[in-house]
Amino acid sequence: MADAPTISAAAAPRLRRGWRLFIFYSSAVLLTGLVSMLFADLLWRTGWSTSRTVLLVLFVILFLFAAIGCMHGIYGFVLRTLGTRRRITRLADYRAQSIAGTGTAIVFPICNENTVRVCEGLRATYESLERTGELELFDFFILSDSTDPDKWVEEERRWCDLVRELDALGRIYYRRRLYNEAGKSGNVRDFLNAWGRRYRYFMVCDADSVMRGQTIVDLVKLMEVHPGVGLIQTVPALVNAESLFGRMQQFANRLYAPLFIAGLNYWALDLGNYWGHNALIRTEPFMQFCDLPQLPGRRPFGGQILSHDFVEAALLSRENWGIWFAYDLEGSYEEGPQAIIENARRERRWCQGNLQHGLVLFARGLRGVSRLHLMLGICGYLAGPLWLLFLITFNWIHWYQKNSGLSDITLPAFNPYLANWSGTAHALLVFVICMVVIMLPKALALIDLAFDWQRRRAFGGLARTTLGVVGETIFSTLHAPLLMLWHTQFVITNLLGVSVGWGPQKRAADGTAWSSAVRRHWWHTLVGLVWGVLMWQLDQTLFWWFTPVLAGMALSIPLSVFTSRRSLGARTRKMDLFLTPEETAPPLELVALRARLKVHEITEDTTPRHPHAGLAEAVLDPYVNAIHVSLLREKQLNPVYAEQLARLGVGSGEVRTLGEKLLATGPDKLTAAERSLIMADAHALVWLHQQAWLRPDESLAPWWKAMIREFSWRET
């Protein structure tokens, strides 16, 4: 077995990033400084105290986060208006570049995903690539980490169907790992160890990714033109949302993201970031530098690096490989969560991964910009608890002021321009500035749209888009306090190393079930109501200022249920609200994907499958059995897999005994590990197939009789 290849990149000429970083972040610091002075002056007018110092510190940190966000919007807007050549697609002419002789693997790492969706997403990408005429330079891999045996068998069956339908034998491959070491990054590493050296590039896709063929070809051309680039990250557009929540998220993503990413590219340039999917990667440097070490210490911080993508990007950058955002390449798609709870579930996973980056933040040799990417990721989750702390401190100060008997007559402002302003007017000014900083990027996105008639039409017109922005802003205002509480919970539980179970969500036909919403949001509602009552008692004027925060919490249950409704999503679609370019003029890939998913929805049996249906299928269905056994036999050719199979106990006499037990008593009498062992043994499965069909019914467990009836007469 050969070691990973050894290559190194020549140090790329730097692109005056230092100045850009200085100007960009100085703008944010300058704005934060000025507004913080204003806020400090306000606090000083009401009498300084320790708690006011705490409040000011929290304000400075939170305002800096908001200012950085705002600067991304402003810089992005300016760059989009004036244009910039400092982007990967403009650095050199790549269109005429030949990609002959290159080999690219497009990999779909999956783990217990919706198999139909995975296969149809892959099909849409495959067919799109076929239309470019460059298909022979690409191979597709479904890299399964699925632990559910039913999923395993279904994946094999659907993969085989896909390959037959597309006549893509030797073009689309399937591999399932026996041991899921190191999650998704381990899955990709396993692929690279087996086949990585065959391909100059590889593209990682998520289970819900779809890529336009021409975009993939363009990415390969860009890589060929820029030999010092190690990774090009596309900016996936959220698509296919049906619920109200999903459509609003999708709308926000499509409208605001171009500005933010242009701003991000301004200071990151060739030290961009990797978001884990829809990115093309140069295989050799990745194999050489990006095998992640285990972090020292115990979980949740020690052990395997969960959010591996940021760290992999940092490791590539450390070795002078360029990483770019190809933010102006269209044709990269993914799907987002369809409900608030689903979104929080994902946030919880990401929170743990991002907090873990705290350990990597000070690693020696990393580029400063990589540290910034890591830092911004961490801050995204720390902002929640800090905001909560800010609100609590503010309430404490107000309560103490009111009950301490101290005078609430304010001193004149230190700032001569505000000398005659009342304390309330001064506070209102600070509040308005904060709102402007938060809302400005949205307004700039609208202005940006107004000057681009093609995009304007794609979003359904300026008036509808403005209405959409207003609706999305109202929703995100109500949603923000929920994220604040959730992020606080996630940060605290992660820091304490406590794992909070998030079992499967109960879904109604049209979205989140009420019972599920109550289970997830009861404490948000309680916090909102108790806080609201206390504030009402404390100060009724202040109560009204707090209503957006309190309403988000108090109304969390209906908010969660109603925004998850597909019917409401459809209604807003009919009203031309929250439209995105992929809705008004859907690209061919998405049209094909949706049509095929619809066919599956109509034609496929939706009755719940029997327990152990995968095992029954692998044993009884003559074709599925043949596919499954062939794949297991092929595994033996790889010494690593062969060793793992032997470690599992495959080929031992015990498997035949278990097989006899399975036939005589049915699968319920076997443990999950025993069933897995049988499923991993090719010889046992061939034997079981023969015996299940040869033996008279009387010598088989009743479960087999029922399954034989089902599998012999089903119509698939």
Q: Which of residues 577-606 bind another protein (CB under 8 A)?
A: none
In this complex, which beta carbon is closest to another protein, that of residue 208 or of residue 621?
Answer: 621
Q: Using CB under 8 A, which of 2, 96, 419, 673 touches another protein?
A: 2
Segment (H or E) for 155: helix 149-166
Helix axes 50-82 and 368-403, enclosed angle (nearest 10):
140
The 670-699 site mask, x for binding another protein (CB under 8 A), equals -------------x--xx--x--xxxxx--
CA atoms 640, 645, 649, 651: torsion sign: negative
Residues 272, 265: Cα–Cα separation, whole Å? 7
Q: Does 414 bind another protein (CB under 8 A)?
A: no
Q: Does 497 bind another protein (CB under 8 A)?
A: no
Which among 70-78, 354-362, 378-386, 567-575 is the span making contact with another protein, rule CB under 8 A? Answer: 354-362
Q: Does 302 bind another protein (CB under 8 A)?
A: yes
In this complex, which beta carbon is closest to another protein, that of residue 361 or of residue 518?
Answer: 361
Return the residue matching tokens 């169907």: 161
User: Minimum CB separation from another protein for residue 700, in Å?
Assistant: 11
Q: Does 653 bind another protein (CB under 8 A)?
A: no
Q: Does 702 bind another protein (CB under 8 A)?
A: no
User: Minimum CB separation from another protein for residue 540, in Å?
Assistant: 14
CA angle, 231 as apex, 588 and 274 as ends, to 5°? 85
Please name which of 192, 214, 221 lies closest in space to residue 204, comparing C-alpha atoms. 192
Q: Using CB under 8 A, which of 13, 83, 296, 504 touches another protein?
A: 296
Q: Does 496 bind another protein (CB under 8 A)?
A: no
In this complex, which beta carbon is closest to another protein, that of residue 13 or of residue 639?
Answer: 639
Residues 631, 346: Cα–Cα separation, whole Å? 33
Q: Does 138 bind another protein (CB under 8 A)?
A: no
User: Minimum CB separation from another protein for residue 286, in Å?
Assistant: 9
Scan residues 270-289 and list those touching another protein (CB under 8 A).
287, 289
Strands of the sheet containing 237-238, edge to edge, are: 210-211, 332-334, 237-238
Structure tokens at 538: 């404390």
Contact present, 524 and 485 (Cβ < 8 Å): yes
Contact present, 334 and 236 (Cβ < 8 Å): yes
Q: Does 651 bind another protein (CB under 8 A)?
A: no
For residue 31, the Cα-to-chain-centroid distance in whole angstroms is 31
Binding-site size, another protein (CB under 8 A): 80
Q: Does 623 bind another protein (CB under 8 A)?
A: yes
In this complex, which beta carbon is closest to another protein, that of residue 392 or of residue 686?
Answer: 686
In 618-627, which positions are buried (b, 16+ CB within 10 angstroms) versus exposed (e)?
bbbbeebbeb
Question: What is the DSSP code (8-state) at residue 403?
Answer: H
Q: Does 709 bind another protein (CB under 8 A)?
A: yes
User: Minimum CB separation from another protein for residue 681, in Å?
Assistant: 12
Q: Does 16 bind another protein (CB under 8 A)?
A: no
In this complex, which beta carbon is closest to another protein, that of residue 406 or of residue 591?
Answer: 406
Structure tokens at 155: 């994946």
In this complex, which beta carbon is closest to another protein, that of residue 257 or of residue 305?
Answer: 305
Residues 346, 328: Cα–Cα separation, whole Å? 27
For residue 663, the Cα-to-chain-centroid distance in whole angstroms is 43
The 245-264 site mask, x for binding another protein (CB under 8 A), equals --------------------
Q: Does 393 bind another protein (CB under 8 A)?
A: no
Q: What is the CA radius of gyration of the chain?
A: 28
Which among 84-92, 463-471, 500-508, 618-626 is the span making contact with another protein, rule CB under 8 A? Answer: 618-626
Q: Does 625 bind another protein (CB under 8 A)?
A: yes
What one-character-per-residue DSSP string does 179-237 give?
S-TTHHHHHHHHHHHHHGGG-SEEEE--TT-EE-HHHHHHHHHHHHH-TTEEEEEE-PE
CA atoms 621, 627, 632, 633: torsion sign: positive
Q: Using CB under 8 A, which of 29, 38, 225, 363 touches another protein?
A: 363
User: Phi and psi dihedrals of 92, rounded to 5?
Assistant: -155, 160
In this complex, which beta carbon is closest to another protein, that of residue 178 or of residue 518?
Answer: 178
Q: Please report, for residues 169, 174, 296, 390, 538, the alpha-carbon distance to residue 397 in angstroms, rounded to integers and kept in the order given.
A: 70, 61, 42, 11, 12
Q: Does 708 bind another protein (CB under 8 A)?
A: yes
Q: Using CB under 8 A, which of 139, 309, 312, 589 touches another protein?
A: 139
Q: Does 166 bind another protein (CB under 8 A)?
A: no
Q: Does 295 bind another protein (CB under 8 A)?
A: yes
Q: Using CB under 8 A, which of 403, 420, 607, 671 touches another protein?
A: 403
In this complex, which beta carbon is closest to another protein, that of residue 129 or of residue 444?
Answer: 129
Q: Does 293 bind another protein (CB under 8 A)?
A: yes
Q: Does 365 bind another protein (CB under 8 A)?
A: yes
What one-character-per-residue DSSP string does 424-490 give?
HHHHHHHHHHHHHHHHHHHHHHHHHHHT-HHHHHHTT-HHHHHHHHHHHHHHHHHHHHHHHHHHHHH
Contact present, 24 and 75 (Cβ < 8 Å): yes
Q: Does 504 bind another protein (CB under 8 A)?
A: no
Scan residues 146-165 and list those touching another protein (CB under 8 A).
160, 164
Q: Does 434 bind another protein (CB under 8 A)?
A: no
In this complex, which beta carbon is closest to another protein, that of residue 315 or of residue 369?
Answer: 315
Q: Does 313 bind another protein (CB under 8 A)?
A: no
In this complex, which beta carbon is closest to another protein, that of residue 170 or of residue 504?
Answer: 170
Question: What is the DSSP code (8-state) at residue 575?
Answer: T
The 526-545 site mask, x for binding another protein (CB under 8 A), equals --------x--x--------
Residue 328 neighbours by CB under 8 Å, 6+ apart: 87, 89
Q: Using CB under 8 A, which of 568, 620, 670, 677 touches another protein?
A: 620
Scan residues 171-200 and list those touching another protein (CB under 8 A).
173-175, 189, 192-198
User: Minimum CB separation from another protein for residue 157, in Å?
Assistant: 10
Q: Using CB under 8 A, which of 83, 362, 416, 420 touches another protein?
A: 362
Q: Does 100 bind another protein (CB under 8 A)?
A: no
Residues 17, 31: Cα–Cα separation, whole Å? 21
Residues 492, 382: Cα–Cα separation, whole Å? 10
Q: Please report, for residues 240, 317, 350, 561, the alpha-carbon distance to residue 512 in angstroms, rounded to integers and kept in the order given.
A: 18, 42, 22, 5
